[in-house]
Chains A and B, each alone.
Chain A
Amino acid sequence: MTAYYVTIGLEVHVQLKTHSKMFCACSTDFGQSPNTQVCPVCLGYPGSLPVMNRAAIRLTVMSGLMLGCRINPYSKFDRKNYFYPDMPKNYQITQCDKPLCLGGGVDIEVNGKSRRIGITRIHQEEDVAKNLHYAKWSGIDYNRAGVPLMEIVSEPDMESPEEAFAYLLALRQILLYAGVSDCNLEEGNMRCDVNVSIRPEGQKELGTKAEIKNMNTFKGVFAALQYEIARQTEVVSSGGKIVQETRRWDADSGQTFSMRTKEDAHDYRYFPEPDLMPVALPEALVAEWAASLPELPAQRRERFVRDYGLPEYDAQVLAADKAVGDYFELAARRCPNPKAVSNWMMSDVMRTLSEKDISITAFSIPPEALAELVGLTEAKAINSNTAREVFSIMLTEGGRAGEIVTARGLAQVSDAGAIEKVVDQVIAENAKVIEDFRSGKAAAFKFLVGQVMRLSKGKANPQMAGDMLQRKLSN
Chain B
Amino acid sequence: MVDDKTQSAKKMNVRYVANLARLSLTEDEAVQFQGQLDHIVEYFNQLRALDVESVEPMAHATPVQNVFREDVVRPGLDRNFVLKNAPEHSSELIMVPTIVE
Contact = CB atoms under 8 A, between A and B. Distances in A.
Interface of A: 18-20, 24-27, 33-40, 42-43, 51-57, 76, 83, 85, 90, 131-134, 136-142, 259, 262-263, 265, 267, 269, 272, 274, 276-281
A26 B73 contact: yes
Given A137-B96, A140-B93, A277-B64, A263 B74 contact: no
B99 interface: yes
B77 A38 contact: yes
Interface in B38-68: 59-60, 62, 64-68
Given A265-B19, A267-B20, A269-B20, A35 B71 contact: no
A52 to B, nearest CB: 5
6 smallest CB-CB distances across A and B, nearest first, come from A139-B93, A55-B71, A39-B76, A54-B68, A25-B74, A272-B59
A20 B83 contact: no
Interface of B: 2, 5, 16, 19-20, 22, 59-60, 62, 64-74, 76-77, 79, 82-83, 90, 92-101
A73 to B, nearest CB: 11
Contacts of B20: 265, 267, 269
A470 to B, nearest CB: 69
Contact of B93 (A42, A53, A132, A136): A132
A277 B65 contact: yes
A27 B19 contact: no
A277 B66 contact: yes
Given A274-B59, A277-B65, A137 B97 contact: yes
Contacts of A42: 76
Nearest to B80: A35
B91 to A, nearest CB: 9
Contacts of B62: 277
B97 to A, nearest CB: 6
B66 A281 contact: yes
A139 B67 contact: no
A269 B63 CA distance: 24
A185 B65 CA distance: 35
A42 B82 CA distance: 12
Contact of B69 (A25, A37, A43, A137): A25
Contacts of B90: 139
A136 B98 CA distance: 6
Contacts of A55: 70-71
A85 B66 contact: no
A38 B74 CA distance: 10
Given A138-B97, A279-B65, 11 more contacts: A18-B71, A25-B69, A25-B74, A35-B83, A35-B92, A35-B93, A36-B79, A139-B90, A142-B94, A274-B59, A278-B60
A277 B60 contact: yes
A52 B71 contact: no
Contacts of A265: 2, 5, 16, 19-20
Nearest to B20: A267
Contact of B95 (A33, A38, A138): A138
B83 A19 contact: no
Contacts of A33: 79, 92
B20 to A, nearest CB: 6
29 contacts: A25-B72, A26-B74, A26-B76, A33-B79, A35-B83, A35-B93, A36-B79, A37-B76, A43-B77, A51-B67, A56-B71, A90-B22, A137-B97, A137-B98, A139-B90, A139-B95, A141-B92, A141-B93, A265-B20, A269-B20, A274-B59, A274-B60, A277-B60, A277-B64, A277-B65, A277-B66, A277-B67, A278-B60, A280-B65
A63 to B, nearest CB: 16
A56 B94 CA distance: 28
Nearest to B69: A51
Contact of A279 (B66, B92, B100): B66
A43 to B, nearest CB: 7
B83 to A, nearest CB: 7
A373 B94 CA distance: 57
A27 B93 contact: no
B89 to A, nearest CB: 8
B93 A40 contact: no
Contacts of B74: 20, 25-26
A158 B83 CA distance: 47
A52 B77 contact: no
Contacts of B2: 263, 265
A19 B74 CA distance: 10
Nearest to B62: A277
Contacts of A35: 79, 82-83, 92-94
Contacts of B72: 19-20, 25
A17 to B, nearest CB: 10
Given A34-B93, A83-B22, A140-B94, A133 B71 contact: no
A331 B82 CA distance: 51
A276 B60 CA distance: 9
Contact of A57 (B68, B73, B99): B68
